[in-house]
């Protein structure tokens, strides 16, 4: 399976990317790249939303 089949490109506003770049300079936060930060942020938000959805049932 080609790498392109596993990943998709998204676009983010430049100011948001600049904030991410500033944050990940602090290596104690544990992020090694913008992609690493964004994947973590999206995963966390998805989990939040799933929990909210379950509690509404």
> Which residue ranges make up each domain of the chain?
12-56
Structure confidence by residue, pLDDT tens digits, 7-50: 999 999 999 999 999 999 999 999 999 999 999 999 999 999 99
DSSP secondary structure code for residue 33 in this structure: S
Q: Is the pLDDT of residue 1 over 60?
A: no
3 pLDDT band, cuts 50/70/90, is low
The residue written with tokens 């676009």 in the block is 11
Q: 3-class secondary structure for the chain?
A: CCHHHCCCCCCCCHHHHHHHHHHHCCHHHCCCCHHHHHHHHHHHHHHHHHHHHHHHC
pTM score, two decimals? 0.82
């Amino acid at each position: 399976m080609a790498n392109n089949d596993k990943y998709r490109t998204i676009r983010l506003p430049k100011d948001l990317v600049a904030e991410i770049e500033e944050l990940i300079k602090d290596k104690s936060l544990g992020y090694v790249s913008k992609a690493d930060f964004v994947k973590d942020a999206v995963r966390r938000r998805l989990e939040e939303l799933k929990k909210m959805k379950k509690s509404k049932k």
